[in-house]
Amino acid sequence: MLSALLVMAGIAIVLGGVLGFSAVKFRVEGNPLADKIDAILPQTQCGQCGYPGCRPYAEAIAAGEADINRCPPGGEEGIHKLADLLGVEFKPFGGGTVLKPKSVAFIDENLCIGCTLCFQACPVDAIAGAAKQMHTIIASECTGCELCVAPCPVDCISMKPIGENIANWKWKYPVYTLAQAK
């Protein structure tokens, strides 16, 4: 009787020690689920989801506080990916969401007064300029988040949709007319 108790207690102590040790030794920094979600998000840092950037939104989804259909730049495909990752049902965008074509910001350099407000707002440092100097968008770095548009006091920033060109053109899904079959 006593020996059995001792054996069980001993096992409990040893296993408890192992668990305690591995909890310290193999501790995972951060939230791996949030990292995985963050990898799917398009990183425009636009805040259209209601969170200040992609990372906070990813953390909110991981914590179960946010829905997966809040990210317009990610498109429906992004929602599908999130649904697959989290094992939940696909949800269409809510009523208020407007899907816009991919754009880059454009500064009308004749109007810019060099107030620096736009590049303070830019989440990816894609605006070059200095106080009382003309500012300009570094188009290759711009994610099209529109965060610079609102702060501009002279409304000199506009969003220009990226049109289809030779460099970004994609082959279309083959469509062949059924009329031929008749």
- 125 touches another protein by CB under 8 A: yes
- 124 touches another protein by CB under 8 A: yes
Q: Residue type at 3?
A: S
Where in 91-120 is the site for another protein (CB under 8 A)?
none
Residues 99 and 68: beta-carbon distance below 8 Å: no
Where in 128-167 is the site for another protein (CB under 8 A)?
141, 143, 164-166
Secondary structure element (H or E) that encloses residue 103, with its range: strand 103-107
Those residues with Cβ within 8 angstroms of residue 128's Cβ, 6 or more apart along the chain or in another chain: 119, 135, 136, 138
Min dist CB 142 to another protein, Å, is: 9
- 168 touches another protein by CB under 8 A: yes
- Could you give the CA distance from residue 5 to residue 68 in angstroms, rounded to a whole number? 51
Phi/psi for 104 (5° steps) reads -125, 150
Among 34, 37, 45, 79, binds another protein (CB under 8 A): 45
Residues that bind another protein (CB under 8 A): 38, 41-45, 53-54, 123-126, 141, 143, 164-166, 168-174, 176, 178, 180-181
